[in-house]
Amino acid sequence: MKIANLQYIDPDRPSGLAAGGKLDREIWEEFAYDRPRLRQTAAAIREVLSTGQTNAKIDVSDDEEASEGRTLTRLHKSKERNRALVKKKKAKVLKESGKLACEACSFDFTEVYGAHGEGFIECHHTRPLHTLDAIGKTKLSDLALLCANCHRMVHAKRPWLTIEQLQKIVTQNLTATSFY
């Protein structure tokens, strides 16, 4: 019956049982286009079953490679961002300070990467977009310029860090160690 459940999921087969569940679909998605790994996993399962062990852990993972690159189509909602506002923020900071440096750690892409890094920096909304409605207004003061690492650290865990909290962490750690 499990084979019939998988046949139903297989787009190349017009048969099967429609009783398969979420796990059947996950198994199909994991192994359908990776026959060598499917054979390896099946062989490992057979080997464990031949020993009579019922609670043995089967590990056929290869830490050095994994399947990637499948095309997925997803439908999701996202909040609209205003690129013109980001441009204005960068222009204002550039005019006032002469450079685009991270507000948390002072990293300057142009200083490190030369012309290749010119004008590059990420823009962080200090008022989370998910809290705004369709008529919500964002001011330049609601935006912060951050390097990619600091931007990731702000969003790494909830509740998100404020720019001030991140600056404090960076300052404490730069004092304790020398990253730069």
Break the chain into its structural domains and give their ranges: 1-74, 83-176
- 32-41, 48-57, 148-157 — most confident range: 148-157
Are 123 and 166 contacting, i.e. CB atoms less than 8 angstroms apart?
no
Q: What is the pLDDT of residue 178?
A: 57
Based on the number of CB atoms within 10 Å of its own CB, is 144 exposed (0-12), middle (13-18) or buried (19 or more)?
Answer: buried
- Please state the rounded mean pLDDT for residues 138-153: 96
Answer whether residue 90 shows pLDDT above 70: yes
CA distance 119 to 116: 9
Question: Amino acid letter at 101?
Answer: A
- Please state the rounded mean pLDDT for residues 5-18: 75
Verdict on whether the full-model pTM lies above 0.75: no
